[in-house]
Structure 1
Amino acid sequence: MTSKYLLAALALAVSGAAFAAGDHSHGDDHKPQHGGIVAGTHDMDYELVARPDVLTLHLRDHGKPASAQGVNAKLTLLNGTEKSEAVLVPAGEGKLEAKGAFKVAAGTKVVALVTLPGKKPANVRFALK
């Protein structure tokens, strides 16, 4: 009987560790809601919508739009050896934007540095498909 409990505890521990290495979960729907790519940290989801003329980062806290007020965010776009940056500004409930001309294509990697008021900066990575 004891070995049964030990095996169950071991299975839970292993599955939890494997899950933590992948996407995080706190009971939310992590699917794109705006046609972008979703990535997350332990407490927030970020959805990047990258277009050649505008970059939009949607913020969600447990599935609901999070306030963009007081948020500092910068995107770094990497295309091979080419690197460009964009500073995002609040653009409505739960979103930040940068307007301009951006090189976004399949294979572009994007690193977002996002600082929410009162929190440590989050480093979120995306790969465009």
Structure 2
Amino acid sequence: MKSIYLVAAFALFLSGLAYAAGDHGHGHGHEHKPLHGGVVAVVKDVDYELLAKPDSIQLHLRDHGKALDVSKASAKLTILVGTEKQEVELKPVGTRFEALGTYKIAGGKAVALVSVPDKAPATVRFVLK
């Protein structure tokens, strides 16, 4: 009799693992793909797309597929390439954040600190192309 309970508990455990690893079918109606040629990271249902080039950086924010208003938001990016670290203040430009300058990005990583009104501040990590 105990073996039936053990088998049932194990089956329940396995189904929980399958659910945790799967899509969950939460039907959010959008995909987390880059729309601007950058790399996408998702934090708390917000898509952050970073497009980093040697002369410009753009950060696009989408909430459930719709662009967020960044006019009253702030963002700071830290770029790490090897032992070099570069801090970049991103400014709202239309529906995105942007900075112009000279940046080392190849093979690097970046961490964005983003504050948007009515949302919790987010720390977003990217692996640069």
* TM-score strictly above 0.5: yes
Unpaired runs of at least 5, structure 2: none
Give the CA deviation at 1:50: 0.3
Letter in 2 for 1:96: F
Q: Which has the larger radius of gyration?
A: 2
* Contact persistence 2:71–2:93 (CA under 8 A): no
In structure 2, the partner of 1:41 is 43
Structure 1 runs of 4+ with >4 Å offset: 2-9
Q: Does 1:15 align with 2:18?
A: yes
Instruction: Work out which of the residue numbers 80, 83, 93 in structure 1 matches 2:82.
Output: 80
Greater shift, 119-128 or 76-85, is seen at: 119-128
Q: What are the Cα deviations for residues 24-64 of structure 1, in whole angstroms up to 9, with x where unaligned? A: x8442111110000001122000000011110001001011
In structure 1, the partner of 2:105 is 104
TM-score (norm 2): 0.82
Q: Please provide the CA RMSD for this pair.
A: 2.5
Aligned length: 123
Identity of matched residues, % = 51
Separation (CA, whole Å) in 1 of partners of 2:29 and 2:9: 27
What is the DSSP-based 3-state SS (H/G/I as helix, E as strand, rest coil) of the residue aligned with 2:30? coil
Q: Does 1:122 align with 2:122?
A: yes
Letter in 2 for 1:53: D
Give the CA deviation at 1:128: 1.1
